[in-house]
Amino acid sequence: MHVEDELSSSRYSAASSLWPYWFSRRLAWCPPNAHLLPALRASAARIVIKEFEFSPNRLRVAPGTVVTGVNKDTDPHTVTANGCAGFDTRRIAPGGSTRFTAPRIHGNYPYRCDFHQFMSGTLTVR
């Protein structure tokens, strides 16, 4: 019983060893209404989704950049920040596109597709 507990808890902490870091960073990244502020420096940026992959997989933008998510697949996708970092296109229809505003605080913002959790990327704000 004790051995099993130790095994499962060590497996758990190994798998989640990055979470304390991300979690604390995320708490620092969540001013209450950041996503409602107008874009201060808007420039064109896009993330194209094709064959269940984000392209580019890593994108660097200035704070507050308006980013367009373009879905070139026949399945719907989303561009959704992990945690409370504050961007989510919600459902992007096949062949459609949706814009969202990048966070205004510098950092790396990992994101995923809500429908296909294996799809992931990182938006870097700098």
Q: Which residues bind Cu ion (CB under 5 A)?
A: 77, 113, 115-116
DSSP state letter for 21: H
Residue number with CB closer to Cu ion (60 or 116): 116
Give the nearest distance from C-beta 47 to Cu ion in angstroms.
12
Buried b (16+ CB within 10 A) or exposed e, 27-39: eebeeeebbeeee
Question: Is the separation of the CB atoms in 61 and 106 below 8 Å?
Answer: no
Residue number with CB closer to Cu ion (64 or 89): 89
Give the nearest distance from C-beta 95 to Cu ion in angstroms.
14
Question: Is the separation of the CB atoms in 29 and 105 below 8 Å?
Answer: yes
SS3 breakdown of the chain: % helix, strand, coil, rounded to 5? Answer: 20, 35, 45
Residue number with CB closer to Cu ion (42 or 73): 73
Give the nearest distance from C-beta 119 to Cu ion in angstroms.
5
Instruction: Output the residue with the shortest Cβ distance to Cu ion.
Output: 113
Task: Order the strands of the 97-101 sheet from edge to edge.
Answer: 53-55, 45-50, 66-71, 97-101
Give the nearest distance from C-beta 1 to Cu ion in angstroms.
41
Residue number with CB closer to Cu ion (30 or 48): 48
